[in-house]
Copies of this chain bind each other. A is one copy, B any other.
Amino acid sequence: MKQSNPDPYTDLAYSIHAVGARATPARMRALAALRHAAQPLSHADIEAELSAERMPLIDRVTLYRVLDWLTEVGLAHKVVDFHGVFRFSANTPDAKHTQHAHFRCTDCGRVTCLDEPVPALPHLPRGFRLARVELDIQGECADCVASH
């Protein structure tokens, strides 16, 4: 095994070896794409990004498998967007009970990412363990309220 920079987050090979798996180009490049992304990326987004790098192309099936694998081992997180498409984001090391709120305008369809955390949570049935919270608020955005 090649010696890796031991920074637990920056080094791609390190992160992958850390879960006891083979550090292949497809995994490293996909993970790199996710880590540099500002928002969750779809399979299509990542495919476009990877094929822009002038390197061997990665098969779409491989990419599907890599993304699901990254999710499985906890290096990535998978969500469904409002169009029903899966989107992936890198799990940062400090991502504990990540709370996230989105506002979607039912009129223009735009999605706004609210920065404020969810102020309170309903309490879960006994024995349940919480990991992540996603709050989706729907309504009309300021622009649409004004213009309609």
Contacts and interface: CB of A to CB of B under 8 A. Distances in A.
A116 B123 contact: yes
A140 to B, nearest CB: 4
This chain's copy number in the assembly: 2
A138 to B, nearest CB: 4
Interface residues of A, number: 42
B128 A122 contact: no
A43 to B, nearest CB: 12
Contacts of A127: 141-143, 145-146
Contacts of A141: 127-128
A131 interface: yes
Interface stretch (A13-21, A31-39, A44-52, A80-88): A80-88
Interface of A: 80-86, 101, 103, 106, 112, 114, 116-143, 145-146
